[in-house]
């Protein structure tokens, strides 16, 4: 009888050990990392992505931003020009904002007055400007990945992108792989 109880206790202990290993594996499967796919080129949505990124980075969370399609306008440098563009690429360059300070609002753009009003209120209430947010993000180690496919489709070139210490160019597979490792994933 005692041998039977001892065997049962051993089996229970083995099962507990297996469960502990599985729990440890699950706990370690995700990093303290935030991955955000940013597709919108609207000022308010870029602001939201940057505010969330800065908050997470300030709490020592590793932050990875993936800029794609319309959001690429936020990464263009107005002082930089790229040569060798075809007609369609030139048209995208003309039609889209040439830098983050020219972005429109998703709602209530009001012929450009909306962004002006938001920037005024941000300054008045001590909220960082987009330029300051990008500077702070770089200091906090926030990584920015530019979607190469989107950049190529829209005719943007590396030469016209902002100078940012943690900027790289990659595809969607890179974002998906990194987002899979992240404890938080967002799409803006």
Residue 17 has pLDDT above 80, yes or no: yes
Residue 9 has pLDDT above 70, yes or no: yes
Q: Please tell me the number of Cα atoms within 13 Å of 45 on its side-chain side.
A: 21
Average pLDDT, the chain: 91
The reply to whether 93 falls in a domain is yes
Angle at which helices 113-124 and 43-58 cross, to 10°: 30
The reply to whether 63 falls in a domain is yes
Residue 151's CATH number: 3.40.1260.10
Compute the Cα dihedral for 109, 115, 121, 126 and give only its sign. positive
The reply to whether 132 falls in a domain is yes
Which is more confident, 147 or 5?
147
Q: pLDDT per residue over 20-34, tens digit each?
A: 888 777 666 678 999
The reply to whether 70 falls in a domain is yes
The reply to whether 11 falls in a domain is no
The reply to whether 94 falls in a domain is yes
Residue 129: give the domain boundaries. Answer: 31-187
Query: Structural domain tally of the chain?
Result: 1
The reply to whether 42 falls in a domain is yes
The reply to whether 155 falls in a domain is yes
Give the strand pairing for 167-170 and 143-147. Answer: parallel
Residue 135 has pLDDT above 90, yes or no: yes
């Amino acid at each position: 009888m005692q041998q039977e109880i001892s065997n049962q206790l051993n089996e229970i202990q083995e099962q507990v050990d297996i469960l502990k290993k599985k729990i440890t594996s699950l706990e370690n499967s995700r990093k303290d990392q935030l991955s955000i796919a940013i597709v919108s080129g609207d000022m308010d949505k870029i602001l939201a992505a940057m505010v969330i990124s800065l908050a997470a980075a300030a709490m020592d969370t590793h932050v990875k931003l993936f800029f794609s399609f319309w959001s690429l306008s936020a990464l263009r440098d107005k002082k930089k020009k790229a040569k060798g563009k075809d007609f369609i690429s030139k048209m995208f360059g003309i039609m889209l904002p040439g830098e983050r300070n020219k972005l429109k609002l998703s709602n209530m753009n009001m012929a450009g007055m909306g962004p002006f009003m938001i920037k005024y209120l941000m300054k008045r209430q001590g909220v960082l400007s987009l330029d300051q947010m990008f500077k702070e993000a770089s200091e906090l180690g926030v990584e920015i990945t530019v979607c190469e496919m989107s950049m190529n489709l829209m005719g943007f070139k590396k030469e016209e992108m902002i100078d940012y210490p943690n900027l790289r160019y990659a595809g969607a597979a890179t974002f998906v792989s990194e987002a899979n490792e992240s404890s938080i994933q967002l799409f803006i």
